[in-house]
Amino acid sequence: MQAEKGGKIVIGVTGGFCAGKTTVCNIFKELDKDIEVIDADEIAHKLLKIPDPEQRKKMAEEIFADEGRIRRWESTLHPLIIEEIKKRIEGSRARLILVDAPLLIETGTDKLVDKIIVVRASLDTQLSRSQSRGFSSQDALRRIKRQLPLSEKMKKADYLIENDKEIEETRKQVEEVWRRIVQCLK
């Protein structure tokens, strides 16, 4: 692994809907305060300018219910999100940058990163987590089906984090990946 972007290493963090990407990024931040996390979902929320999470959720449910509408939104939003991610990478002073992006590979954003972490959770875990966040099973399944199958994401993975068990098990896996990445920074 090389820090090709001005001494920076950029790691893409992707995985299925409600697999635990944000949890993994948060654990990385606990391990190293000098890590910057660029959150593609947060960028999308800012671009949409809808501050209320319930309004965003309702709008997303309407969009995900119509394939044509999804494609129109994606063709408009994804280039703007990717451009903002590029700007944040270029402007970052952190040596290690995590790009938290559910559609990292699907949108070609993986071309901006040096390595890829795939966070995996079983369908049962994904559905359970999505329901605890207020999503219906139907809506969660629509979102899961919109993403590249996990088997395809795995082909691009440099690291895999299984996130079906207790948080301490996830933490151990993140610590191991972090140690391997830090070795490359030396």
Per-residue pLDDT of 51-102, as tens digits, reads 777 877 778 777 777 788 888 888 889 999 999 999 999 999 998 999 999 9
Percent of the chain with pLDDT over 70: 96
Q: Is 94 helix (H, G, I), strand (E, B) or coil?
A: coil
Q: What is the pLDDT of residue 1?
A: 40
Q: What is the pLDDT of residue 5?
A: 47
Please give the CATH number for the structural domain made up of 9-185.
3.40.50.300
Mean pLDDT, the chain, rounded, equals 89
Q: Select from 87, 118, 95 the least CA-distant residue to 12.
A: 118
Q: Is the pLDDT of residue 115 over 90?
A: yes
Q: What is the pLDDT of residue 4?
A: 46
Q: What angle do CA 148, 27, 94 make, to 5 degrees?
A: 90
Q: What is the pLDDT of residue 2?
A: 43
Quote the CA–CA distance of 30 and 154 in Å, as a whole number: 26
Q: What is the pLDDT of residue 139?
A: 85
Strand residue runs (E) in the chain: 9-15, 35-39, 96-100, 115-120, 159-162
